Amino acid sequence: MFDRDRWQEIFEAIGKNKLRTFLSGFTVALGILIFTILLGLGNGLLNSFLNSFVDDAQNVIFIRAGRTSKAFKGFQENRKIQFENEDFEFINSNYFGKVEYATPRIYRNGLAKYKKESGNYSIRAVHPDHQYLEKTIMMKGRYLNEADLVERTKNIVIGRLIEKDLFKNENALGKNLDVDGIAYKIVGVFQDSGGDNEERILYMPYKTVQLLFGNNEDLDQINISYNMAMDTEQAIAFSKKIEEDFKKKFNVSPDDQSAIRVRSFVEDIKETMVILGGIYALIFVVGIGTLISGVIGIGNIMTFSIKERTKELGIRKALGASPKSIIAMVLQESVLITAVAGYLGLILGMLILKLIGNSLEEFFILNPKVDTGVIVVATITLILSGLLAGYIPARRAAKIKPIIALRDE
């Protein structure tokens, strides 16, 4: 295998039969190219689907309050349900071990001013856990923390686009921001993959908002994430349990759909994953099919090439080439061509995927890429398929009788 002379012999044969080498190499390169691009686009599709969930943690459960639609236990219908701090604490104390993160939300709007710039922005008053639930990524400074909550500080965290809107090229970190006449200190700037709107939000501690606006304990919504140790069925059951408990707590009819609304992604994700699995399997089957046709292609060309070289191989045998050395020569040539051409196809495919990048985002293809594991597997497959494609023609070549070969004009 590592005989230098034999390699020299093979390089010579390859170098002096460029068309043949090009044809067989081209088939393989094309096969691998298509395989890589297909797989990359498949991954892009997958990324695009996953991305619709990644804005928020995938194990999030939203608990919202509305108005009752049914009279129940002596209460009239159309009664407004209002969450308070006590309900948030109820979650922390009742579902211990099942809840990973939990935060309340209070929604407000505010006019923010800095120097001559101003703008109207959404405000979310939250618990520090909100960072993990929303997958907020800090660019500068820090997120809200426990101390902000306890001391009811006027610290805020602003989105990347607010900094851009109001501070232009200045660094917002540490600056004071005037929101509806109250000065807040910016302790952090964040980014979020959920789109522009998610990056034009102000976060402040929920207890500060409760103190400043009405001195109450009202909450608009509670978000939690369940423990990932739970499987899908358990997560669905847990979400139902929360709904039942809250309905009981607020004296709401169990079949009232609007008073307490508990929503989780878990069922959506389950469905999507099944569809994605299908798409992925399809892409894989098509890709493997392409690969196989590439391998058959090279087998074909090798067979043809053996036929073309019958005379040469006959001469070699007359000069003392053993069948083994003929097999080795043909196999090594086939493996070399497959491996090199396949690798070129792979690199080219990856390059094309890189060029495509996110330009196909509107077709639900996001960041198409193939990962290292696939590349390793593909490389091994290439070498194996080179062996496979070369073996049958090689054996046929070894069986050539020199006299028949020499008669072949």
Give me the residues that bind other proteins (CB under 8 A), please: 5, 8-9, 12-13, 16-17, 311-312, 314-325, 398, 401-403, 406, 409
Query: Taking the complex as a whole, how short is the minimal distance between the CB of residue 25 and other proteins, in angstroms?
Result: 18
How many beta carbons lie within 10 A of that of residue 196, not counting itself?
10
Q: Closer CB to other proteins, residue 319 or residue 355?
A: 319
Q: Are 310 and 401 in contact (CB under 8 A)?
A: no
Q: Closer CB to other proteins, residue 266 or residue 329?
A: 329
Q: Closer CB to other proteins, residue 1 or residue 274?
A: 1
Q: Closer CB to other proteins, residue 66 or residue 323?
A: 323
Query: Taking the complex as a whole, how short is the minimal distance between the CB of residue 328 and other proteins, in angstroms?
Result: 13
SS (H, E, C) the chain: CCCHHHHHHHHHHHHCCHHHHHHHHHHHHHHHHHHHHHHHHHHHHHHHHHHHHHCCCCCEEEEEECECCCCECCECCCCECCEEHHHHHHHHHHCCCCEEEEEEEEEEEEEEEECCEEEEEEEEEECCCHHHHHCCEEEEECCCCHHHHHCCCCEEEEEHHHHHHHHCCCCCCCCEEEECCEEEEEEEEEECCCCCHHHCEEEEEHHHHHHHCCCCCEECEEEEEECCCCCHHHHHHHHHHHHHHHHHHCCCCCCCCCCEEEEECHHHHHHHHHHHHHHHHHHHHHHHHHHHHHHHHHHHHHHHHHHHCHHHHHHHHHCCCCHHHHHHHHHHHHHHHHHHHHHHHHHHHHHHHHHHCCCCHHHCCCCCCCCHHHHHHHHHHHHHHHHHHHHHHHHHHHHCCHHHHHHCC
Q: Nearest Cα to 150, choosing from 194, 207, 99?
A: 207
Q: Closer CB to other proteins, residue 45 or residue 302?
A: 302
How many beta carbons lie within 10 A of that of residue 341, not counting itself?
26
Query: Taking the complex as a whole, how short is the minimal distance between the CB of residue 1 and other proteins, in angstroms?
Result: 15
Query: Taking the complex as a whole, how short is the minimal distance between the CB of residue 401 and other proteins, in angstroms?
Result: 7
Query: Taking the complex as a whole, how short is the minimal distance between the CB of residue 335 and other proteins, in angstroms?
Result: 21
Q: Closer CB to other proteins, residue 200 or residue 317?
A: 317
Strand partners, 65: 260
Contacts of 398 (CB under 8 A, 6+ apart): 323, 324, 326, 327
Query: Taking the complex as a whole, how short is the minimal distance between the CB of residue 344 and other proteins, in angstroms?
Result: 24
Q: Closer CB to other proteins, residue 91 or residue 329?
A: 329
Q: Closer CB to other proteins, residue 255 or residue 409?
A: 409
Query: Taking the complex as a whole, how short is the minimal distance between the CB of residue 315 and other proteins, in angstroms?
Result: 5
Query: Taking the complex as a whole, how short is the minimal distance between the CB of residue 305 and other proteins, in angstroms?
Result: 13
